[in-house]
Chain A
Amino acid sequence: MATARKTDARRFRIKSANAARRTRSPRAARRSPLATVALIAIGLLFTGGAYAAFNASSSDSGAVAASQESVERGEKLFAANCATCHGLALQGTEAGPTLIGVGAAAVDFQVGTGRMPLQNQSPQAPVKPVQFTDSDVDALAAYVSSISPGPSVPDSEYLDAAGDATRGAELFRINCAMCHNVAGAGGALTEGKYAPALTGVTEKHIYEAMLTGPQNMPVFNDANLTPEDKRDIITSLKYLENNPSPGGFELGSLGPVAEGLFAWIFGLGAIIALAVWLTARAN
């Protein structure tokens, strides 16, 4: 499989060295070099350190330094595994959306949870066993973000699940629970789509999902939910996951439907079985 992927990659490899070596700013292509320098200087003056502190995880440089080698490997992997639907230049086809501007975070989420490569066209890409090694995923992410920048893989400081669980739970109820359920048990959407359960999802992938809005999920960008907010939400989810319900088995956290079924089948079932036993005639 891996060797086939590599030969395919070689066959479809884009010869443009320029594209691979392109800097992280797409504006370079549209403006004169001087204007770019001036813009960057002004931008740095105005936005300054505070901006950088609040947006460390978003579009600029990114935590993972994309080495040239990694980008090249990612390009091959992309051409072999993704380009059929997303196009060789990430432009998208009828079968798949464009990946220009999705950034490393989206790639890391989609490929890192096994959703991509897509198994078949269905209402929603399900989670399945991850098809690539971690370094392959990183390479793909590096390649996609090298073509055009987008949200990058989040910094580990926001993934420690050590934020404010109370605040996170409240934010979760307000922003997420209508689809994912208050306990993160998941829920149904229209036309066969669904919001998946959030138990067992890694902190990084939860963060990336909020940042990039995969599939039917809306994007919760850093202006909407700050990285701190996201950290708190992850904290509350992990708190629920790591602290088993004080009341006993959770019945899937599905709420009254599961409780009602349990009461009927096991509760009343047990009582009826005992009543049958109680009224049975001795042989």
Chain B
Amino acid sequence: MSSDTRTAPAPQRAAKTSVTGAVSNYIDERTSISAVVKEFGRKIFPDHWSFMLGEVALYSFVVILISGSFLTFFFQASMAEVEYDGSWVPLKGLEMSAAMDSALNISFDIRGGLLMRQVHHWAALLFIASIGLHMLRIYFTGAFRKPRELNWVIGFILFILAMGEGFTGYSLPDDLLSGNGLRIIDGLIKGIPVVGTWISYLLFGGEFPGDQVIGRFYTLHILLLPAIIVALIALHLVFVVVHKHTQYPGPGKTNDNVVGYPILPVYAAKAGGFFFIVFGVIALMAAFFTINPIWNYGPYDPSPVSAGTQPDWYIGFADGALRLIPPGWEFVLWDRTWSFNIIVPLVVLGGFIVVVLLYPFFEAWVTGDKREHHLLDRPRNAPTRTAIGAAGVTFYASLWAAASSDIIATHFKMAMEHVIHILQFTTIVGPFIAFFIAKRICIALQKKDREIALHGYESGRIVRLPGGEYIEVHQQLDEYERWKLLNFNEYQPLMIRPNAAGKISSAQRVRASVSRWFFEDRIEPVTSKELERSSHH
């Protein structure tokens, strides 16, 4: 690749120039791309497995685009009735929509079609799962802090859009399972007071299911949503380059540098290889494991509903929320039915999404920290944030688990009602318990770190002193190990100060009390004075 940066060769050397050199030179003279390669190729990225989760998402998305393009060649996004005449015997001669018919033909009558369908679907599940895991990494290491708040927002919007992509794609085959899912969404929409019914009729082009929705979802699925996602991914990556990558604290790693390898040649090779690894794992999954066997589900018909009907995992939390609502939350007022069994989940989930979206701004407000942060936090060193995260994960996981309440009931031999009640408990009370436990664990770990930093670790060597006393000899960590234990951000509860007019505003008070709640039981980092004192004995 070094030939890219070559300047124009002298005429007498032209004959000796390699083909690569000549081609790169030709391109460079017309595009000045060498400046980009030089700048970008020297970009340093730190090396850690958790920094590759976002890459997994990106590569799964590329796999989705490739396999999805293949599928569009054969898929008919139409709800026109046709008679199935393909290879799958138990559906032969059945009336179904052209969408279902073509999805079945892709599965059974187009060479490689079923593999592509399964690649597409498995890659979609992995895409959203890796986004979720990537977001958890960002959250628990505090990578969303200034200057990366906006990139958190972009990433989170990508997560929501990916769910939209997933749901529209899940609906396209027009099989029984996806039709049931669509019916639930229709019910959700109709449950919105006043406007719900109008929106539903608008979306479906009349009474559910109508003959419009597959075509409309297809446009969203292959045109609008992917375009927005590609644009936002580009923006997301531009920000990564602009902000530079964060890194874990360690010797020699500061807020002003990035320790790692350059893109060229190391990361280009690693990332390129990793792309094929991700592709390979997806291909293996698709080759060996059935996903969404629409031939079992049969064509959509509004009357049958199958047991064990669930959405794909990423919509599970919403389905679970509906399942956890106690019966009877519905009443008639002003000549209208108010379905609080639907309004409450919608509001709660909407609120949850907004809270996650805005969390970086909230934390910045609480800490009052205007500095840039390029060094990541160890989760234990931000106990309150970690505990809030644990609470959020518990809340989400409970809703998610509730989407499979029936499967849990049958497989663990429990009564469905008990499963629901347990999950209601873990959804509402669980986050508080998780918050408390996570915070205590963080603080305990910090205390242990502090202890180790000051007094070393237990060596396992027991010594008897002349006086008869037994002690265990503690050994000091080396400088590099100790560095990790000593250096983390120290925040203190904000002091309430009067503003210019000499008044203490109520916003100030709220901020001070939230800040106190965040930091009042903090463990302070070991100071150099303490360290010095401890090294003397």
Q: Mark B195-231, 1 if CB is under 8 A from A, else 0.
A: 0000000000000000000000000000000000000
Q: Which of A123, A248, A249, A254 gathers the greatest number of chain B CB atoms within 10 Å?
A: A248
Q: Which of B48, B308, B313, B404 gathers the greatest number of chain A CB atoms within 10 Å?
A: B308
Q: Which of A103-134 contact B (CB under 8 A)?
A: 123
- Closest chain B CB from A79 CB (angstroms): 33
Q: Which of A185, A194, A260, A274 gathers the greatest number of chain B CB atoms within 10 Å?
A: A260
Question: On chain A, which size bracket covers the interface?
Answer: 35 or more
User: Are B403 and A183 interface neighbours, CB within 8 A?
Assistant: no
For residue A68, CB closer than 8 A to chain B, the reply is: no
Residues of B within 8 A of A275 (CB): 49, 52-53, 56, 274
Q: Mark A247-283, 1 if CB is under 8 A from B, else 0.
A: 1111101111111111110111011101110110100
Q: Which of B237-288 contact A (CB under 8 A)?
A: 270, 273-274, 277-278, 281-282, 285, 287-288
Residues of B within 8 A of A195 (CB): 307
Q: Which of B47, B122, B288 contacts A263 (CB 8 A)?
A: B122
**Count: A-B pairs, CB below 8 Å:** 196
10 contacts between A and B (CB under 8 A): A166-B94, A177-B306, A186-B410, A251-B289, A255-B306, A255-B310, A256-B177, A256-B316, A258-B407, A272-B49
| CA–CA, A264 and B127, complex, Å | 10
For residue A142, CB closer than 8 A to chain B, the reply is: no
For residue B92, CB closer than 8 A to chain A, the reply is: yes
| CA–CA, A273 and B416, complex, Å | 36
Known: A188-B407, A190-B416. A267 touches B126 (CB 8 A): yes
A interface vs B, CB < 8 Å?
123, 165-166, 168-170, 173-174, 177-183, 185-192, 194-195, 236, 239-240, 245-251, 253-264, 266-268, 270-272, 274-276, 278-279, 281
User: Are B126 and A177 interface neighbours, CB within 8 A?
Assistant: no
User: Are A268 and B133 interface neighbours, CB within 8 A?
Assistant: yes
Q: Mark B29-71, 1 if CB is under 8 A from A, else 0.
A: 0000000000000000001110111001000000000000000
Residues of A within 8 A of B297 (CB): 182
18 further contact pairs, Cβ within 8 A, besides A248-B287, A256-B177, A278-B52: A166-B90, A170-B94, A180-B307, A182-B306, A188-B405, A188-B410, A192-B414, A251-B290, A253-B296, A255-B177, A257-B403, A261-B313, A262-B285, A263-B126, A271-B126, A271-B130, A278-B274, A278-B277
- Closest chain A CB from B298 CB (angstroms): 5
- Interface majority SS on A: helix, strand, loop or mixed? helix
For residue B417, CB closer than 8 A to chain A, the reply is: yes
Q: Which of B397-440 contact A (CB under 8 A)?
A: 403-407, 409-410, 413-417
User: Are A245 and B293 interface neighbours, CB within 8 A?
Assistant: yes
Residues of A within 8 A of B406 (CB): 187-188
Q: Which of B301, B306, B417 gathers the greatest number of chain A CB atoms within 10 Å?
A: B306
Smallest CB-CB separation from B273: which chain A residue?
Answer: A278
Interface size on B, residues (CB 8 A): 70
For residue B129, CB closer than 8 A to chain A, the reply is: yes
| CA–CA, A165 and B130, complex, Å | 40
| CA–CA, A190 and B405, complex, Å | 11
Q: Which of A256, A257, A279 contacts B48 (CB 8 A)?
A: A279
B interface vs A, CB < 8 Å?
47-49, 51-53, 56, 89-94, 107-108, 114, 118, 122, 125-126, 129-130, 133, 176-177, 270, 273-274, 277-278, 281-282, 285, 287-293, 295-298, 301, 303-314, 316, 403-407, 409-410, 413-417
Q: Which of A170, A236, A257, A266 contacts B310 (CB 8 A)?
A: A257
Residues of B within 8 A of A246 (CB): 107-108, 114, 290, 295
| CA–CA, A190 and B92, complex, Å | 35
User: Are B126 and A240 interface neighbours, CB within 8 A?
Assistant: no
User: Are A247 and B52 interface neighbours, CB within 8 A?
Assistant: no
Smallest CB-CB separation from A189: which chain B residue?
Answer: B416
| CA–CA, A88 and B66, complex, Å | 71
Known: A248-B290, A263-B122, A271-B281. A177 touches B416 (CB 8 A): no
Smallest CB-CB separation from B401: which chain A residue?
Answer: A257
User: Are A267 and B281 interface neighbours, CB within 8 A?
Assistant: yes
- Closest chain A CB from B480 CB (angstroms): 14
Residues of B within 8 A of A168 (CB): 90
- Closest chain A CB from B215 CB (angstroms): 24
Q: Which of A251, A255, A276, A279 contacts B308 (CB 8 A)?
A: A255
Q: Which of B107, B292, B304 contacts A174 (CB 8 A)?
A: B304
Smallest CB-CB separation from B89: which chain A residue?
Answer: A165
Smallest CB-CB separation from A126: which chain B residue?
Answer: B413
Residues of B within 8 A of A249 (CB): 288-290
- Closest chain A CB from B232 CB (angstroms): 22
- Closest chain A CB from B309 CB (angstroms): 7
Smallest CB-CB separation from A261: which chain B residue?
Answer: B313
User: Are B313 and A256 interface neighbours, CB within 8 A?
Assistant: yes
- Closest chain A CB from B393 CB (angstroms): 14
Residues of A within 8 A of B125 (CB): 259-260, 263, 267
Complex A-B, nearest 9 residue pairs according to Cβ-Cβ distance, in ascending order: A187-B307, A260-B313, A247-B290, A192-B415, A263-B125, A188-B406, A188-B409, A257-B404, A182-B306
- Closest chain B CB from A62 CB (angstroms): 32
| CA–CA, A274 and B273, complex, Å | 11
User: Are A166 and B307 interface neighbours, CB within 8 A?
Assistant: no
Smallest CB-CB separation from A190: which chain B residue?
Answer: B416
Q: Which of A123, A174, A245, A255 contacts B415 (CB 8 A)?
A: A123
User: Are A173 and B306 interface neighbours, CB within 8 A?
Assistant: yes
Residues of A within 8 A of B282 (CB): 267
| CA–CA, A166 and B93, complex, Å | 7
- Closest chain A CB from B259 CB (angstroms): 13
User: Are A266 and B304 interface neighbours, CB within 8 A?
Assistant: no
Residues of A within 8 A of B47 (CB): 279, 281
Residues of A within 8 A of B53 (CB): 272, 275
User: Are B305 and A177 interface neighbours, CB within 8 A?
Assistant: yes
User: Are B304 and A173 interface neighbours, CB within 8 A?
Assistant: yes
Q: Which of A123, A249, A256, A270 gathers the greatest number of chain B CB atoms within 10 Å?
A: A256
